[in-house]
Amino acid sequence: MMDEGLEYFRAQVRAAGSNADRLSAALALGQLLLLADRKAEFAECAATHLMPLAGNVAQWPVAEQGAVNATVAWTLLPLAVDEFVTALPEATVRRVSEKAIESSDAADINFVCLLVQRACGRRLKDEKLVERAGERLARHPALSRWNLPTGEVGIDALSRVRAAFLSQELFRERPSRKRSREPFGVVVTIRV
């Protein structure tokens, strides 16, 4: 069943008629790859689709930009975890690192891409990349929103940030369930 879902979203990415449709399909594909614990394939999806398309967030309707920014950032966050990046082939880490540098101006995506750069730099033993990313992270405007007391993303930090995000979703006003068929809540998959 998982393989059929993955193939479906791969086909959706290929057939997408717009960057917005391609990004939506790539987000779903990335989430499924995380669920299937296919780290290297997820990293390739992030480098090939998510990070390059993240630069297009400003093209989305203004009302949707915040949600798209957050969703892309959350989907990329496992790549900021040292244990996750350590499990990847070196060539994949290099590719992810290069794409993270070229990524979006959207605040949360940019912040997560800096975290990804730092994790990739550690894996590649590239002290300059680690230092540059660390300096930019220390003064990044999104730092306070991400609640990373140590400045690091590990499994514990992923769980804390995820819990904070989900608790905000629980208290967000929603239309009556009788009038809306929209699902209640948001699913954020983080697998390390």
pLDDT score at 61 = 79
Tell me if 67 is assigned to some domain.
Answer: yes
Instruction: Encode pLDDT of 138-170 as tens digits.
Output: 999 888 888 887 788 887 767 766 666 556 555
Residue 155 lies in a domain: yes
Domain assignment of residue 181, yes or no: no
- Tally the domains of the chain: 1
**pTM metric for this prediction:** 0.80
Q: Is residue 184 part of a domain?
A: no
Q: Which residue has the higher pLDDT, 161 or 44?
A: 44
The answer to whether residue 101 sits within a structural domain is: yes
Is residue 111 in some structural domain?
yes
Are the CB atoms for 130 and 121 separated by under 8 Å? yes
pLDDT per position as a tens digit, 107-143: 899 999 999 999 999 999 999 999 999 999 999 988 8
- Could you give the CA distance from residue 26 to residue 52 in angstroms, rounded to a whole number? 11
Is pLDDT above 90 for 1?
no
Q: What angle do CA 53, 13, 91 make, to 5 degrees?
A: 65
**Domain of residue 145, residue span:** 2-171
pLDDT in tens, 47-103: 999 999 987 777 777 788 888 888 999 999 999 999 999 999 999 999 999 999 876
Distance (Å, whole) CA 127 – CA 124: 9
The stretch 7-19 carries a mean pLDDT of 94
Closest C-alpha to 111, from 142, 151, 68, 82? 142
Residue 102 domain flag: yes
Tell whether 18 is covered by a domain: yes
Residue matched to tokens 């290297």: 40
